[in-house]
């Protein structure tokens, strides 16, 4: 079973048979020369490298459509039903279909050949802690579909089943999915790799008093009757399948954008996210029209382990974004931006995750600039740079600090540090600066069009960049500079240093306070944004004395901040310095927030600073409220410390 995994001790050896691309070394057929002076150095791979985290034999047979018919059984915490997969043969001689499955109870497998269904022999391979099991199905000649009857496990890592007590309303249970990077296979037998795109249709049967939504077309005004149908006509990778079932309402923001949430937070969510149409307009202006129809959001219960998840047509969000002042809505800009970068143009392999997250973080920052001005965009980049430096310093090995991840990452999670997000953003910022927005903006727009609904590699991007931007202005960058960003470890020296006037003023006040010239109550904080607070707290010295903590806490009650980002930074500083009054509010925070970005580091800091027992006691109480992904990660953090 895959729930007591210690991520860092996983040792898996992968053979990347087709992945012969090394930095700067062109292999495969020679690309035509662009210009005499510039021989192409970043040849696109002649074929997509194999994804080491899938068993699927997608180079022989591709699944192109999935139809699901599932009962949502809250009492047993399982989905029970049938998946029908439509097949396309890449290799016409293929006779075996290999799918990904994890914790699935397979009851029967049939194949459709020439319109006749018959039982198909199958085997379910051994359970790998990361990849799950291979489901191998022997196909009769000319089989075009398989039908698999199955049920999920109550322990399925991609599904969180909440009891009524774990919701705000306390009356009804709640179910939501999180399938990125490789958990769709815990919901259905699939080709669970970003290299393969599928369309899907689904029927979900739920208790009649609940609503079901998916990452697909749906009618927000539909009847609540426990019988729901979905259709997703645009091809997506399996990790973008998504579902949520519970007792929640809907509030429109405009004619094609709206938000689902539990009643207690519905109005606040609609108000917090009311700028979403302006964000959409900003991206439309830069990179062309939104291609997915409706854009809705759902605010999930606090155990949702991420800030947001870009499920197409239906972004999933943590309630910790509802700060009351729109200060954390860059996450919405981020998830919306994924409708271009990530969902439209997708990394074909998790080694290339920066193609999803770096581009998205870049677009996010451009949106924040358009809506709220240059100052806010600079402040956000400045905070991002701090986070990037921290993640680079803490990386387990240098190879994990280059944009292109090494071939032997132990888990796709390794590709989701700030290196992919902020590092990718700063790389694109570097290109923007060197080539100028007048060239870079249309280039990116064409890139999104060129690769829409495709899954690509870093080398595909570099090859396209070389032909369509670099070739027109060969002196703008050097190969050494590009390689330093993409293939070399560490932070390149060509990175922008974001300089924020607002932060400089905060720093000046901070110095006065640290020098004892002013009391905390005399700091001019009334107009500070969340970002300014984060800068202030991030940059106080690590050896701040307890009296100084008490001074700040007394003036601003930071231990009880309702802003999760501010509370988190405060807790981290307080844990490191042994400021004990923070423990009771921190206990409440850890019991009520399941967002991984906060809780993983908090548990690790508690362990590091001599509070392992305290942390273990809190985790024992909080564990059942955390998502299975978060449970696994935190168990790994404790095990690593032993």
Least distance from Zn ion to the Cβ atom of residue 595, Å: 14
State how far Cα 439 lies from the chain centre: 29
Count of residues interacting with Zn ion (CB under 5 A):
2
Identify whether the C-beta of residue 607 lies closer than 8 Å to the C-beta of residue 641.
yes
Stated as kind and residue range, the H or E segment containing 400 is: none
Give, as ranges, the residues between 14 and 43 that touch Zn ion (CB under 5 A): none
> Mind spelling out the 3-state secondary structure of 438-465?
HHHHHHHHHHHHHCCCEEECHHHHHHHH
* Extended strands (E) in 90-210: 96-101, 105-113, 116-119, 122-124, 133-138, 143-151, 159-162, 174-177, 197-205
Q: Which of 361, 416, 405 is nearest to 383 (CA)?
A: 361
Q: Examine the residue annotation and report whether 335 is marked as an active-site residue of this protein.
A: yes
Task: For Zn ion, give the closer residue by CB, 245 or 367.
Answer: 367
Least distance from Zn ion to the Cβ atom of residue 574, Å: 29
Task: For Zn ion, give the closer residue by CB, 360 or 365.
Answer: 360
Which x/- pattern over 346-385 shows residues binding Zn ion (rule: CB under 5 A)? -----------x--x-------------------------
Which residues, at least 6 apart from 641, have a Cβ–Cβ distance to it below 8 Å? 604, 607, 608, 612
Give, as ranges, the residues between 205 and 224 that touch Zn ion (CB under 5 A): none
Catalytic residue selected from 55, 421, 447, 579 = 421
Beta bridge partners of 106: 150
Burial zone of 583 (CB within 10 Å; 0-12 exposed, 13-18 middle, 19+ buried)? middle
Least distance from Zn ion to the Cβ atom of residue 611, Å: 32
Least distance from Zn ion to the Cβ atom of residue 364, Å: 8
Least distance from Zn ion to the Cβ atom of residue 294, Å: 20
Which residues, at least 6 apart from 2, have a Cβ–Cβ distance to it below 8 Å? 102, 103, 127, 129, 130, 132, 157, 632
- Other beta carbons within 10 angstroms of residue 425's beta carbon come to 28
Least distance from Zn ion to the Cβ atom of residue 20, Å: 29
- Other beta carbons within 10 angstroms of residue 641's beta carbon come to 13
- The token pair that represents 562 in the structure block: 């309702």
Least distance from Zn ion to the Cβ atom of residue 21, Å: 24
Helix locations, 144-291, DSSP H: 263-272, 276-287
Which residues, at least 6 apart from 522, have a Cβ–Cβ distance to it below 8 Å? none
Least distance from Zn ion to the Cβ atom of residue 330, Å: 11
Identify whether the C-beta of residue 494 lies closer than 8 Å to the C-beta of residue 484.
yes
Catalytic residue selected from 262, 335, 380, 565 = 335
Stated as kind and residue range, the H or E segment containing 366 is: helix 353-372
Q: Which of 176, 178, 208, 181 is nearest to 193 (CA)?
A: 181
Least distance from Zn ion to the Cβ atom of residue 538, Å: 22
Q: Which of 376, 357, 354 is nearest to 367 (CA)?
A: 376
- Other beta carbons within 10 angstroms of residue 526's beta carbon come to 5
Q: Which residues bind Zn ion (CB under 5 A)?
A: 357, 360
Residues marked as catalytic: 335, 421
């Amino acid at each position: 079973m895959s729930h007591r995994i210690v991520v860092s001790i996983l040792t898996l050896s992968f053979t990347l048979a087709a992945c012969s691309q090394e930095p700067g070394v062109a292999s495969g057929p020679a690309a035509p020369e662009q210009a005499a002076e510039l021989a192409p150095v970043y040849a696109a791979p002649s074929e997509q490298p194999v994804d080491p985290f899938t068993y699927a034999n997608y180079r022989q047979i591709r699944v192109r459509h999935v139809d699901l018919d599932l009962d949502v059984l809250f009492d047993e915490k399982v989905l029970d039903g049938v998946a029908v997969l439509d097949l396309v043969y890449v290799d016409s001689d293929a006779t075996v279909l290999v799918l990904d499955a994890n914790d699935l109870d397979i009851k029967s497998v049939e194949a459709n050949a020439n319109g006749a269904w018959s039982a198909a022999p199958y085997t379910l391979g051994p359970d790998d802690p990361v990849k799950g099991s291979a489901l191998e199905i022997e196909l009769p000649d000319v089989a075009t579909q398989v039908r698999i009857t199955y049920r999920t496990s109550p322990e399925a890592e991609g599904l969180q089943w909440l009891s009524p007590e774990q919701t705000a309303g306390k009356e009804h249970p709640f179910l939501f999915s999180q399938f990125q990077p490789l958990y769709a296979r815990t919901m259905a037998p699939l080709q669970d790799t970003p290299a393969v795109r599928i369309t899907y249709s689904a029927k979900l049967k739920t208790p009649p008093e609940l609503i079901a939504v998916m990452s697909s077309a749906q009618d927000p005004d539909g009847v609540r009757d426990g019988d729901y149908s979905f259709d997703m006509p645009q091809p997506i990778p399996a990790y973008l399948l998504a579902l949520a079932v519970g007792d929640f309402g809907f509030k429109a923001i405009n004619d094609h954008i709206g938000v689902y949430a539990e009643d207690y937070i519905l109005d606040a969510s609609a108000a917090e996210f009311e700028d979403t149409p302006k964000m959409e307009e900003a991206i439309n202006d830069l990179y062309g029209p939104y291609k997915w129809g409706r854009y809705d959001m759902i605010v999930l219960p606090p155990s949702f382990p991420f800030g947001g998840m870009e499920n197409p047509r239906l972004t999933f969000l943590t309630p910790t974004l509802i700060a009351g002042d729109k200060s954390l809505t860059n996450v919405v800009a981020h998830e919306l931006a994924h409708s271009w970068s990530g969902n439209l143009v997708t990394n074909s392999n998790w080694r290339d995750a920066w193609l999803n997250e770096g581009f998205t973080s870049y677009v996010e920052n451009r949106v924040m600039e358009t809506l709220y001005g240059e100052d806010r965009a600079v402040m956000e980049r400045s905070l991002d740079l701090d986070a990037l430096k921290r993640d680079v310093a803490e990386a387990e090995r240098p190879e994990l600090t280059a944009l292109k991840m090494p071939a032997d990452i132990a888990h796709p999670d390794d590709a989701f540090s700030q290196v992919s997000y902020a590092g990718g953003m700063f790389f694109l910022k570097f290109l923007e600066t060197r080539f100028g927005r007048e060239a870079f903006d249309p280039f990116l727009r064409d890139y999104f069009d060129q690769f829409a609904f495709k899954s690509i590699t870093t080398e595909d991007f570099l090859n396209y960049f070389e032909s369509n931007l670099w070739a027109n202005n060969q002196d703008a960058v050097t190969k050494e500079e590009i390689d330093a960003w993409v293939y070399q470890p560490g932070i390149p020296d060509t990175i922008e240093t974001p300089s924020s006037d607002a932060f400089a003023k905060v720093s000046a006040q901070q110095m006065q306070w640290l020098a004892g010239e002013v009391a905390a109550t005399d700091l001019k904080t009334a107009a500070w944004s969340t970002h300014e607070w984060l800068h202030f707290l991030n940059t106080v010295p690590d050896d701040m004395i307890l009296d100084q903590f008490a001074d700040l806490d007394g003036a601003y009650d930071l231990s009880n901040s309702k802003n999760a980002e501010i509370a988190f930074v405060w807790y981290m500083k307080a844990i490191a310095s042994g400021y004990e009054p923070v423990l009771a509010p921190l206990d409440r925070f850890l019991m009520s927030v399941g967002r991984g970005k906060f809780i993983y580091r908090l548990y690790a800091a508690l362990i590091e600073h001599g509070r392992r027992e305290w942390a273990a006691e809190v985790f024992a109480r909080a564990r059942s409220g955390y998502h299975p992904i978060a449970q696994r990660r935190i168990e790994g953090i404790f095990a690593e410390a032993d």
